[in-house]
Structure 1
Amino acid sequence: MLPLESLQNTIAQSVLGKPQFGLLSLVSAGRADPHRRLRIYENNTRASLTATLMAVFPVTVHMVDERFFRYAASEFIRRHPP
């Protein structure tokens, strides 16, 4: 078992799109399989980061249309994770 800080860093890297081998074996299945559970965190993280970018750049959202901004934000987050 990983120390808590290492586990948190491993999950964070996975959620931000950098696959972490062996992580699924550390996540208990519960009602959903581990891969699906991690995808929920990934989707929530992306949605939160996108919403933050939209709040910081409201004029840009208005100028380029919300759908395009969401796409561009998703690409930006994927290429330049926090």
Structure 2
Amino acid sequence: MNYVTYIQAEREFILRKKGQYGEQINQDPGESFVMEWVRNHAKDFRAAWVTYNCETCMNKMNCPTDFQGCTRQSHNRG
């Protein structure tokens, strides 16, 4: 596993989720959202990253399954 790629993907994923939540509440949820996400979801994100080999998936940054239950079959078709 390329650790740099993993960290970049995780960071971008967290920021995307933070933005989505911010739109729901009409304000910036702040750093507390990031810390809560890390506490509650980082372990699952890493497990999915390894299990589904997300590093090689063409849609890893826009995963419609949020890295939970990805079959990759629909993702990697060019």
TM-score by structure 2 length?
A: 0.46
Which one has a bigger Cα radius of gyration?
1
Structure with the largest fraction of helix:
1
> If the length of structure 1 is used for normalisation, what is the TM-score?
0.44
Structure number with greater CO (CA < 8 Å, separation at least 6) is 2
